[in-house]
Amino acid sequence: MRIKYKDIKVKKVYLLLACSIILVSAGCGYNMGPIANPQIKSIALAPIKNDSVMPNVSEYMRSAIAEAFQIDGAYKVRSVYDADCILYGKVLSTKVTSVDVRSATDGVIFQTRQFNMSIEFQYTVVIPGQADALVATTTITGDAQFMSPVDQFVARQNGIKQAAWNAANQVVWGCTESW
């Protein structure tokens, strides 16, 4: 039996039509973009309090949170007077612990080479003029591991920045996706 060219052409048209219907119907209902609260477009960062013993942690946290919001793109970071909501936060504590302790073969000399920095951060998000908080008071912990080169102070500052960045990403997630 010989297949006619016309039959193949009609089958291709039907196949193309069926595929296009499947593709169009499969895309229905999906939305690309952030899943943040649609009523909130901007956020302000109030000054962050520092209840820890390490200096400048609140400044690192505030800049890391602002940068994380800008990278996420769900909310614009604005001034306190122009924003739809305000984030209040405080650094509760910072903790440095050793991760890797090495010793000589006789067990006498101890050398710590790797440390873990933890920042415990508490935050809440409120809409000005409303009694209830948009995001209830939440406590998160940002962690980072860092190596100790010759300069301990610089290594610790880098560990604080890395832990602040980890905590800031958790804050942004908590503000944009958990409402």
Given a contact cutoff of 8 angstroms between Cβ atoms, the answer to whether 114 and 160 are in contact is no
DSSP three-state, residue 179: coil
pTM, entire model: 0.76
Residue showing tokens 């820890």: 52
Average pLDDT value for residue range 114-124: 94
pLDDT, tens digit, 9 for 90 and up, residues 148-169: 777 888 888 999 999 999 999 9
Domains of the chain by residue range: 34-176
Query: Which CATH superfamily includes the segment(s) 34-176?
Result: Lipoprotein like domain (3.30.160.150)
All residues at 6 or more sequence positions from 137 whose CB lies less than 8 Å from its CB, including other chains: 122, 123, 124
pLDDT, tens digit, 9 for 90 and up, residues 10-20: 778 788 888 78
Higher-confidence residue: 89 or 103? 89
In this predicted structure, the answer to whether residue 174 has a pLDDT above a threshold of 60 is yes
Helix ranges restricted to H, the chain:
5-26, 57-72, 152-176
pLDDT at 13: 78
Q: Which of 14-28, 69-83, 112-126 is predicted with the least confidence, judged by mean pLDDT?
A: 14-28
DSSP three-state, residue 129: coil
pLDDT at 31: 57
Dist. CA 54–CA 130, nearest whole Å: 34
In this predicted structure, the answer to whether residue 55 has a pLDDT above a threshold of 80 is yes
Query: What is the residue-averaged pLDDT of the chain?
Result: 85
